[in-house]
Structures are given as C-alpha cells and as structure tokens.
Structure 1
C-alpha cells in the first residue's frame, strides 16, 4: 500500500480526531493517489496514523477512513454494518432514516438514506464515486436492499467541483414515489427527482418540536417542500395552514400529504418562492415556518428572517432553519439577532435545534454541523 506523509501539525490534528486535512498538510507521497484506493497515512517519522482517501484536486485533500488501527480489507461493509446497527439503537423507526452520514460513519463522501427496502445514495468525493459498485453490493449484502438509486444530481456536488449525474438505478427497481412513516405521520416522497434524496431526514428534531406546539394556531410555511413541517403542526392542533413551495411537483406532494394525514380543509398549498410570498402577504400568523435552504448569502438570509418576523404576530412563534454554507460557521445566531434588531422586534429563544441522531459527526468538526434551527417567541 502506498503512503502519504503528513506534517507534524497535521499528524497531531489527525491523532486528535480531525477527519480531513488540506493539501498543504502533505509533505510527500509515494506514487499518485487513485480514486477508491486508500493510502496509508504516516507522520514525518514514518509512524502509521491510519487509512485515508487522498485527492489533490479536492478542498480537503486527505479524508480519514475509519479509525487508525483499521485494515483496508472489508472496510466498506464493516462500516455500513456498524452504521446500520447504530441506527437500530438511536432512531425511532430505522426503516426510515439516514443510514450512512459521511465522516460521522467513517465513510467520508458517502450519504445513504433508507426508505424501508429502498436506498438512495449520494457520493461526494471522487474516491466514493469510484466505489459506487462496491457500495451497492454492500447494501444488498448487509441490509437486504430491494433497490439502490444513485442521486448525484444535487447542487452540493457542483459546489465540491464534482460533475452532476442524472439519477441512476444501481440495483433493483426503485419506485419514483415512495411512502414513509415518521413519528405517526405518513408522507409520499419523490425519490428520483425530489429535493436532496427525496426527504429531509435532517429536519426530524424540528418536526419533533412541532409535535409539542400548534394547538389552534394559524400557520404559515413559506418553503414547505413535501410538507414535512406543516403536517406535524397540523397533526398537533393547528387550525389553519397556508403553505407555499416554488416547485410545482413538491407543492402537489404537499397537498397529497396533507390529505393523507387528515388535514383536508385545514391546509392550503400554493406555488410561490419564499421572498415573493413574504413580500406579498399582509396577514400575521401564530406560527411561521422559515426553511432558508435556497438563500445564497448571509444578506439574503437576514432579509428572509426580517420579512418572516413581519408575518409573525405579537406573541407568536417563528421557526428559522439556516445552513452552512452560505452562512459562515458561528454566524447563525448573530444573523437572526441582526434581523430582529432591524425589524425592532424583541425575540426570546424557546429552543435551539440541530441534526438528529442519524446524522452523526466527528467531535471537533464544526463544518459537519451544517444545519442550525431556532424557535423564537416574538414580541
């Protein structure tokens, strides 16, 4: 096995749990790194630090594979099996969750979401691109997957400098539309063309919070996707829900999911982009749901929060979801506070939320905590 030698400081970081390093941390290499072929990572004195994927074209040129004492033989099946068992202990219903979450499961650049017997995969490094066949085979052997669908058509790949690929069937016959259960709610999602991998499993803690609120509320959801948030508000007592999404197919699924959960007559879903919706509405609501996934900058984020505050009545609640990027790490709370100040609204934090247990991340890797959310009571 070829070796990559790292600087003393980089070796120290790796020993202390860093999951990735930059190109300038590399002192020397034996040969050329090949996608999908791990290299042995060593310090300047030749002491072995573990295994890693090395890609000199990537922002993070070195990605740690597993733990320092692991062997390369059977690494992918071993980590998938461990991730599968981990969800069985952590998730309410492991049939519907994220099964593999990147560095958090020792497999950098690999995302696997489960929809009962159907699995949706994203590969986010050239090394994992090269392992697609092995990943598919492993899912069949470890989980008994009925189908595996590759979803490498996301903007995230473009941001990482990787080519976009059309949705591609790797195994079996995956359905385009699939039903899932989550905390008592039923959803139909689009595995082939839906946002991300079809459903936002990373919003589960937000949905859990909405299960504790909503009695008699008038709710506004300005970017509802397939209805994951507003459905839970409705199931727990919201009396009227007005929801929007810019994607016509997502809006159709949101209507279908509202009906499937007994919300017929209480929910209106229309097509519309968040900024246009917030600028056009004049009413105020008891609960405003603001998912800012589409914003391009911190300035755009602050603008959406400002407009959402205007739509929140005195004493009402505002749930804000932010992402890194475009928000800089550590800037979420400051940006929300800036929006409140600009609107001259006093807000009290009720609860701060992040990623659920099926999205583990290495400690000390703030970039992996890409989602933040806060529920505010607004005066």
Structure 2
C-alpha cells in the first residue's frame, strides 16, 4: 500500500505551537519542586509528578502543554531543562541537565548519533529500535528504524512541540527515504493529544521488508500495530527457535508470525499461528511463504482463549506453546482483572502442552512484575498437578536498554518453562 507524503513538512506543522531553538534558556519560566522532591531527579530519573511541584511558587496553570521550563529544587538550585504539561500526572520531563541547552536540530542530532552508534554495535542490519525514550535521554520519543524508513512516535505534548527540529535532525543524520509519524499510542490520550498517522518526509510504499535473526519479514508501519513490528522480543525468539526442531508449536497472539516463522525455519515439524487480526494473519502467511516454510505452518483467525478451549475439548496437544499477549495490565487499577486474564491464559496453555513440553510465557505489562509472573506459573503448575521448571528468563532486546534510575524503562519479561508430569 502506498501513502504519499504531504507537499512539505511545514504544511503539516503549520498549526503546531512554535518551538524554542533560539530562546535564551535562562529567560525561561521556572518550575520549582517541593522540599525533598528533587531526590529522584538527582538519582538520574527524568520525570516530575504534579504533586511534587511547589505550586504556590510556580503554578502549573501558568504553563501550556509542551512549554519549556527550568526545573529547580526548593532552594532555587537548577536541576535542568524540561518540557511541561500541566494537564498530565507526569507534569514535566527533563531533556537536559544543562538549563541553557538550545532545543534545536543539533540538540536532537547529538542524541540521535549517540543512539545510532549503540545500535550499530549491536546489529549488522539497520532494523532496530533507534530511540527508546528515557533510556536515550529523549523522553516521550520512540523511533523504530526499518532500513531507510524511520517510524516516529511523539507521545508527549513536549515532543509534539519539538517535531520540527527532530525531523530536521533525522534528515541530516540518516538521510532517510521517509519519516512516518505513527502517533496512535494510547499514551497520547493522557497528554491530551490527538491520534494520527502522517508521512512528513519523503514517501513510503508498504509493506516494507526487514530481516530479524536471518528471517525475512514484511512490516506495515502504516496499518500495523504500534510501529508495525515488535523488536523487543528479538533475543527471546532467537533463544526459542533451536528448541523447536521437530516439535509441534503453537504460537498464540502471533501477529505477523515473528515467533512462528523463526520456529519453522529452525526445523519445527508443525507451527500453528493464532491471531484475531485478519490483516496481521495475511502478513504472517506471506512471511511464511517468503521464508520457504509455508508448508509446515497454519494460520488460524481466532480469539486465543476460545482457541485454547476448543483445543482442550478436542484433546489436541503441542510440544511448544508461545504466549505473547498484549498488555493485560496497562495501569495499576487493572491488576486484578489483568492478573486473572494472565492466569486463565497460562492455565489453558499448560492444559494443551504435552508432558516434557516448553511453555514461553511473556508479559509486556510494566505493572505486572516478574515476581507476579513467576508466582502465577508456580500456582498454575500446582493447580494442574504439573512440575514446572523455569530454565531461562528473557527480557527486552538491547536496543531497548534499561535505565537503572528509571524502572519504567524495564517492562518486558519472558519465562521459558519446562513442564513435566508431576512425580
């Protein structure tokens, strides 16, 4: 599918508020914190919560979404330069420890070059998460690289205001064929931002082809979920694939077949991909053909929970089951309902798993901790009278680096389990 670019980037950003490359930063308004509330920022975090602001001195109502400000502690000591959103619980995000840093194209170019240098050390091919928000000191920004096409998410009002210098920096550093703004994340709603998809530089014909772990995949950054691909499970998929040789594999929530195709390439006897999205399933089938494994794969459009119920009724069993569901726990208040969904899913998966089989149970819910996942797996095995051993633990790939001072940057967990008959 082709999506033409607009006539020029200026035509798209014409209604956006002005950005601030030429402002004298020490003339910016101040955002003062309450006593003791600078501790997290001094430890390396980048967020300020609205209840940490000394609003008597610096009222949040004095800011518009995306405004720049100099953050200072209760004693008036400068902590850095941030952008502010008075309407968000996270009311400010630090961009630089230098309060005089100009928020221009060169500012972004320096950060982008540093991010790209790390990814180039990791991967030979230019298919990866180029910018991972706070970990790359660009809070609110996500960029996935599909060769010469860059797919960008500006998830905060501050990053939305800075799109012009950001895109100029992307053009200068990477000379991409296209830059796509894929601004459909649910995070934008919390920032009071609309959802949209726009090509702001060049033009793009979709789908695109990428290579992951020597497998070839088609990616649709326009119509696909998120940016069109999930690079975060790359290492986990590589770890599982060799264990699938000669096995019957069930890939649930398969999306476009990343787990299943790589299992088939590694020699799986049979792979069934279950996915509710018809467009995603069509791409999965094409990806199987592209890799020469279509003859050993089946693609089933079905709700994963209903598929497992039917498989159990028909006494079908698999040697490997992959559970890679969407986030069931998006907020703390979802813990009870989301935890129950994880419980039902894992229990049903174990019931269709052959003795001696492998279960890969993953969660991308930040609020669902590794300890909660492991405890659920323990309880599931005990309830079903199985012996379950976790032989490996997986997380997000290294192009999603974890900032030790920002726990929110660590979200993905995967448990590789050997499930046996209880003795």
Smaller-chain TM-score range? over 0.9
Query: CA separation in 2, counterparts of 1:243 and 1:235?
Result: 14
Which position in structure 1 is the counterpart of 2:156?
125
Indicate which of 376, 379, 385 corresponds to 1:335.
376
**Shift, 1:245, TM fit:** 0.7
Q: Over residues 227-271 of structure 1, what are the superposed CA-to-partner deviations in whole Å (9 max), with x where a residue is unaligned? A: 111111111111111111100010011011111111021001111
Change (3 A) 1:366 1:344: farther
**Shift, 1:7, TM fit:** 2.5
Which position in structure 2 is the counterpart of 1:262?
292
On the 8 A contact 1:305/1:320 being kept in 2, the answer is: yes
Change (3 A) 1:41 1:154: closer
Query: CA separation in 2, counterparts of 1:207 and 1:154?
Result: 25
On the 8 A contact 2:366/2:412 being kept in 1, the answer is: no
Which position in structure 1 is the counterpart of 2:404?
363
Name the SS of the counterpart of 1:212 in structure 2: helix
Indicate which of 348, 352, 366 corresponds to 1:311.
352
1:88 is the counterpart of 2:120:
yes
Structure 2 length-normalised TM: 0.84
Q: Over residues 97-125 of structure 1, what are the superposed CA-to-partner deviations in whole Å (9 max), with x where a residue is unaligned? A: 00011101111110000000001111111
1:72 is the counterpart of 2:116:
no
Q: Which runs of 5+ in 2 are unaligned?
A: 1-27, 330-337
Which position in structure 1 is the counterpart of 2:339?
298
Q: Comparing 124-133 with 314-323, which one deviates more in the overlay?
A: 124-133
Q: Over residues 127-159 of structure 1, what are the superposed CA-to-partner deviations in whole Å (9 max), with x where a residue is unaligned? A: 11122222222111111111011111233434x
Q: Comparing 196-205 with 8-17, which one deviates more in the overlay?
A: 8-17
Which position in structure 2 is the counterpart of 1:377?
418
**Shift, 1:30, TM fit:** 7.4
Which position in structure 2 is the counterpart of 1:22?
49
Query: CA separation in 1, counterparts of 2:402 and 2:100?
Result: 19
Name the SS of the counterpart of 2:37 in structure 1: helix
1:248 is the counterpart of 2:286:
no
Q: Which runs of 5+ in 1 are unaligned?
A: none
Count of residue correspondences: 377
Which position in structure 1 is the counterpart of 2:365?
324
CA-atom RMSD, angstroms?
1.9
Structure 1 length-normalised TM: 0.94
1:97 is the counterpart of 2:128:
yes
Change (3 A) 1:222 1:24: same
On the 8 A contact 1:39/1:54 being kept in 2, the answer is: yes
**Shift, 1:211, TM fit:** 3.3
Query: CA separation in 2, counterparts of 1:163 and 1:6?
Result: 26
Query: CA separation in 2, counterparts of 1:51 and 1:161?
Result: 19
Change (3 A) 1:231 1:66: farther
Name the SS of the counterpart of 2:196 in structure 1: coil
Query: CA separation in 2, counterparts of 1:43 and 1:163?
Result: 29
Which position in structure 1 is the counterpart of 2:242?
212
Change (3 A) 1:154 1:350: same
Q: Over residues 269-305 of structure 1, what are the superposed CA-to-partner deviations in whole Å (9 max), with x where a residue is unaligned? A: 1111111111111311110011121636111111101
From the CA coordinates, give the structure whose radius of gyration is larger. Answer: 2
